Homo-oligomer: A and B are copies of this chain.
């Protein structure tokens, strides 16, 4: 491979000047820059990826922050986003915050420097200002920062409505729904819970919000918790929860001798592969991960090309998929 010295010789400049062009650290006359770029192409000079990244001001990497790689929803979404990015010539750097605020901040501090071209945020435990200060293309998945940072999300309000209607159809009287209450005022996804409560309330159906942390998916923990809650609310006849939690409730309800459906209904929220593993597919509100991934990457690609995104607040419709639990 050609060296930087050969490039300099061919271009008729000093090696230092080539360095400067590559680094972007100092101004170089446009025609000199052109000469150097021409010489590089002629000699098929390939600096290493880092140098090329600096040269093009592009690393070719987009980061995505998730609360957990293992969580079926984030795993599915990351899988689709990785795929979409790959076809556009970008690589994915997947970072897991374990749901911890400090870890999210540390990752962002690392990413803020020039290591990645853009950041996709599937977590949002920091303040608006910290996201607004990122100074590089950002797409948020569940949190509104400001009008200039695009937000792509499933239509959670619609999800809450579809679930509520299903509980009404099934004649439920007391529906438990599991959420992360700390995030009530922050995240778009919480709208599903508000809408569920609103519609059930209008129909005189009781509902109970139950706070649960779901960042470290563990069936044993979930099942134990489901058993406990079914003892605490023996009259509960419906549950809305993330796939694995909903599966745990179905298992616990069956264990306690309840008929599912009939005496107990479950609507899983997310509808990933985890909602199907039960042998009795869970009725699910399906988040359209492929469409979401497509939209996220389409917007990110435009931002990376310094174009304005066509939309900055995208809510993608969800669907209800019938399983064997309603």
Give the shortest distance, in Å, between A277 (CB) and chain B (any CB).
Answer: 4
Contacts of A22 in B (CB 8 A): 23
CB of A96 within 8 Å of the partner chain: yes
Question: In the complex, A110 Cα to B92 Cα: how many Å?
Answer: 12
Give the shortest distance, in Å, between A282 (CB) and chain B (any CB).
Answer: 10
CB of A184 within 8 Å of the partner chain: no
Question: In the complex, A31 Cα to B23 Cα: how many Å?
Answer: 23
CB of A319 within 8 Å of the partner chain: no
Instruction: Tell me whether B69 and A91 are in contact (CB under 8 A).
Output: no
CB of A60 within 8 Å of the partner chain: yes
Instruction: Tell me whether B86 and A79 are in contact (CB under 8 A).
Output: no
Tell me the dominant secondary structure on chain A's binding face: helix
* A67-96 with Cβ < 8 A to chain B: 68-70, 72, 75-76, 78-79, 82-83, 86, 91-96
- Give A25's nearest chain B residue, CB to CB: B4
Identical subunits present = 2
Instruction: Tell me whether A251 and B273 are in contact (CB under 8 A).
Output: no
Tally of contact residues, A, Cβ under 8 A: 64
Question: In the complex, A278 Cα to B122 Cα: how many Å?
Answer: 28
Interface centre among A59, A68, A110, A217 (most CB of B within 10 A): A217
Are A273 and B70 also in contact (CB < 8 A) when A19-B23, A20-B19, A278-B278 are? yes
Give the shortest distance, in Å, between A59 (CB) and chain B (any CB).
Answer: 7
> Could you say which of A44-52, A167-175, A295-303 contacts chain B?
A44-52
Question: In the complex, A283 Cα to B114 Cα: how many Å?
Answer: 47
CB of A139 within 8 Å of the partner chain: no
CB of A61 within 8 Å of the partner chain: yes
* A183-208 with Cβ < 8 A to chain B: none
Are A82 and B61 also in contact (CB < 8 A) when A16-B19, A26-B15, A92-B95 are? no
Give the shortest distance, in Å, between A158 (CB) and chain B (any CB).
Answer: 24
CB of A244 within 8 Å of the partner chain: yes
Question: In the complex, A107 Cα to B96 Cα: how many Å?
Answer: 21
Give the shortest distance, in Å, between A96 (CB) and chain B (any CB).
Answer: 5
- Give A115's nearest chain B residue, CB to CB: B49
One digit per residue, 1 when the CB lies within 8 angstroms of any chain B CB and 0 when it does not, for chain A 234-260 equals: 000000000010010011001100000
Instruction: Tell me whether B220 and A276 are in contact (CB under 8 A).
Output: yes
> In the complex, given contacts A5-B26, A218-B273, what are 16 additional A-B residue pairs having Cβ atoms less than 8 angstroms apart?
A23-B23, A49-B113, A50-B50, A51-B114, A59-B115, A70-B273, A79-B96, A83-B98, A92-B93, A92-B94, A92-B96, A217-B273, A219-B277, A277-B278, A278-B278, A279-B279
- The 11 listed contacts between A and B (C-beta, < 8 Å) are A23-B51, A46-B113, A48-B113, A48-B115, A49-B115, A69-B82, A92-B93, A92-B96, A219-B276, A250-B279, A254-B279
A residues adjacent to B (C-beta < 8 A): 4-5, 14-16, 19-20, 22-23, 25-26, 46, 48-54, 59-61, 68-70, 72, 75-76, 78-79, 82-83, 86, 91-96, 98, 103, 107, 110, 113-115, 217-220, 223, 244, 247, 250-251, 254-255, 273-274, 276-279, 281
